[in-house]
Amino acid sequence: MFSFFKRIFRRTTDPVLAKTLKKQKSAKKSLKGLEWLNRIVVMVASVAIITYFLPNSEQFKYGEVKVGIPWHHPPLIALWKFNVNMTDQELYKKKDSIRQEFQPYFNLKHAVKDTVKIRIQNAAQKLYEEKRFDSPVVAVYYRALLDDIETIYDEGVMGQQTFDSLKMSTRASYIRILDNNIQKPPVSIDNIYSMQGAYQKLMNPVNDNANIVDTLRKQFLSALNLNMLLEQNLFFDVKKSSQELNTLTDSLSPNIGNVLQNEKIIDRGEIITPEKLRKIKAYEDTFRSRTENQKPVKVLIGQILFVLLIIIVLNTFLYIFRRDYFLNKRAYLMLFILPVFFCSITSTLEQHTMLHVYVVPFCLVPIIIRVFLDSRVAFVFHLATILLASISIVYHYEFLVIQTIAGMVAVQTLRQMTQRSQIVKTMLLVTATLVATYFIVSLMTAEDPSKDPDKTDPYYWLVVSGLLLLFAYPLFWIMEKFFGFTSEVTLLELSNTNNPLLQKLMEEAPGTFQHSTQVAILASEVAAKVQANVQLVRTGALYHDIGKLSRPVFFTENQSGKNPHERISPVKSAEVIISHVTEGVKLAEHYDLPEVIQRFIITHHGTGKVKYFYITYKNEHPEADIDESKFTYPGPNPESKEEAILMMADAVEAASRSLTTYTEETISALVDKIVQSQVEEGFFNDSNLTFKDVQIARKALKERLKTIYHTRISYPELVKNDESETENKSEKEKTENI
């Protein structure tokens, strides 16, 4: 199910995929306009939903009312006249009783009787022609059979399944028969024949007595095969039955009494009886319906403007400080779904007094956003969420202080979730913060306004709220599947070499696995220096060449003998090399790798060329027109800093294997040449990699390569006499082996 939604969501909301599919300028402009329209729709929907759930100025607050306990509140006086109705459950039982005792309607079809007679006549005629029964006595049996058919079908024959259903499921023992739309008096089901009952009735005169007459009659009726000739003539009238049943149920009035205006419903200390409880509930329903319909216009306008102001501030913040999230539809949608959901839950709990609002785990908002996005966005949206939710809460100050401080702790304690235990640590710290802050706030006030005799101690609900933060972990999985995000924990799990796909790569293409490992080391070093996502780059590097599993021997790092490219043309070789990108995507989809990892597979060569075979082909066909698309990777080019880093590291690591000597000069020249070539070809134009980042990356790659290949300065040789040359040579070898 999730994969189905993922394909739809990716097809409609991924800006990267949209950009790939629509490269024309006009299409991009249309897409940009549509994206702005989508954001406006999200804004309007957020304002509308939050405002809809916000409470009215008046609320019915008497807590949970139960039968058998005293009424602790002041006398309840009716402000309006209202009716006392049955509860929904009582009304349902009444209607269900009517349904059970309802007498269904059936249409009687006289033509069926004549049809059955004709069938019997034809069957008897056939037996006569076959001279199987030519005794005059059989004619008597035949006439008696027709008389029985007349009697049975006048009373009615019903389908076996319908008959059994009526017998088992209804209390009513009567049905109503419509004969040419004329209703007959109710008929007992016991007087109606089923198909089986009619057959048994016709065969009943036959017995097993050993006299010739009964035996002949039995043979005659059996030869007719009556069960194949009979047919029902009573048919259930669905339309008439539904109309009559609806009329009966709709005419049932739920009203069982009324209360006059200014009438006392219940007095303080009075025991709540079932009748009193029914009146209280009826008055509560009347109160809610009247206040909902009488919501002041100025209150509604004020709520809309307040919510709209918060939403505009959030959009402005994203557009100025985190435009990448603003442009990413998935991130944008998730950021606004969270406040809408939590504000709606808060308003619902507060208005219906189901649970204390402190049970809502508001710190899930900053935790989820922090794991998938960043700390600053997490705290800003958490603050906006509790500001919007505070409209529904009576004690704004207390609520805002407690949730703001708890949100700060949640953001600071969950910098990067790389272990499951971090969720538990965060939960414990946030819970302790909630309880401690509430205690401090209660000390600063003259009384504890949150303590309500009809509600459990708020400390209990705060602890429950903290424990609910443990649901963050399964929520991460849902977010990953639905919105296409990838958490640090998932990246860590994927980078484990025990992963089945990495194990397959290690066993079937060990050279490629070694290359991917080296690329991961180089890319991680660069990512750390340019403030990119190190774990994302490392995991992407491990999987970027998995497409080589389809034909591992065609890649030099996996060859131990003959080169298969020597037997095929450069064009075919280029096709095989290029195919490792598409094959890698297929493998990634088969193993359900996240889309962010698949991006590394399709972008690590960008739109570059397979230069070795391209140049070889040009040398072999200097005068021919070359179809460069046959030597060009499908792309697209990297569109993030992490993808660009992997492209650099991949090219540098592969080229470094061709060096004959590993010195500081050769490594530096190699890195400069490859990175400069990639910059000039515009591979990094679509990424957010800056020139400064490129320079830092060059330096990091050089330093790491020198460490990997263990380069050192060349020691000068000491010129000595012939006797000491052997000793000098030995000392030199020892030094180089250090």
| Interval 250-306: pLDDT, tens | 888 777 778 887 788 888 778 888 888 888 887 777 776 766 555 567 778 888 999
Output 181 or 22, whichever has higher pLDDT: 181
Provide the token pair at 31: 């897409």
Residue 499 CA to residue 145 CA, distance in Å, equals: 80
Provide the token pair at 5: 């939604």
Residue 359 CA to residue 349 CA, distance in Å, equals: 10
Model confidence at 26, pLDDT cuts 50, 70, 90, reads very low
Residue 306: what pLDDT?
Answer: 92
Q: Are 369 and 335 in contact (CB under 8 A)?
A: yes
| Lowest mean pLDDT, pick from 20-29, 236-245, 454-463, 648-657 | 20-29
**Which residues make Cβ contacts (< 8 Å) with residue 191, sequence separation at least 6?**
155
pTM assigned to the model: 0.56
Eight-state DSSP code of residue 719: P
| Lowest mean pLDDT, pick from 354-363, 449-458, 571-580 | 449-458
Residue 24: what pLDDT?
Answer: 37
Model confidence at 57, pLDDT cuts 50, 70, 90, reads low
Which among 633, 650, 652, 643 is positioned nearest to 600, based on CA atoms? 643
**Which residues make Cβ contacts (< 8 Å) with residue 274, sequence separation at least 6?**
67
Q: Are 546 and 584 in contact (CB under 8 A)?
A: yes
Q: 680-706 in b/e burial notation, b at 16+ Cβ within 10 A?
A: eeebbebbebeeebbeebbebbbebbb
Residue 129 CA to residue 131 CA, distance in Å, equals: 5
Q: Are 189 and 201 in contact (CB under 8 A)?
A: no
Eight-state DSSP code of residue 448: -
Output 375 or 417, whichever has higher pLDDT: 375
Which among 272, 278, 277 is positioned nearest to 255, based on CA atoms? 278
C-alpha dihedral, 342 to 344 to 350 to 353, nearest 10°: -100
Residue 625: what pLDDT?
Answer: 79
Q: Quick one: fold of 510-708?
A: Hypothetical protein af1432 (1.10.3210)
Task: Considering the chain, tell me which residue range(s) the CATH 1.10.3210 domain(s) occupy.
Answer: 510-708
Predicted confidence (pLDDT) at residue 401 exceeds the cutoff of 50: yes
Q: Mapping DSSP to helix (H, G, I), strand (E, B) and coil, where does residue 264 land?
A: strand
Provide the token pair at 274: 């079932």
> Parallel, antiparallel, or unpaired for β 255-259 and 174-179?
unpaired
Q: Which residues pair with 85 in a beta bridge?
A: 255
Residue 320 CA to residue 313 CA, distance in Å, equals: 11
| Torsion over CA: 559, 563, 564, 570 (sign) | positive
CB-count burial class (<10 Å; 0-12, 13-18, 19+) for 247: exposed
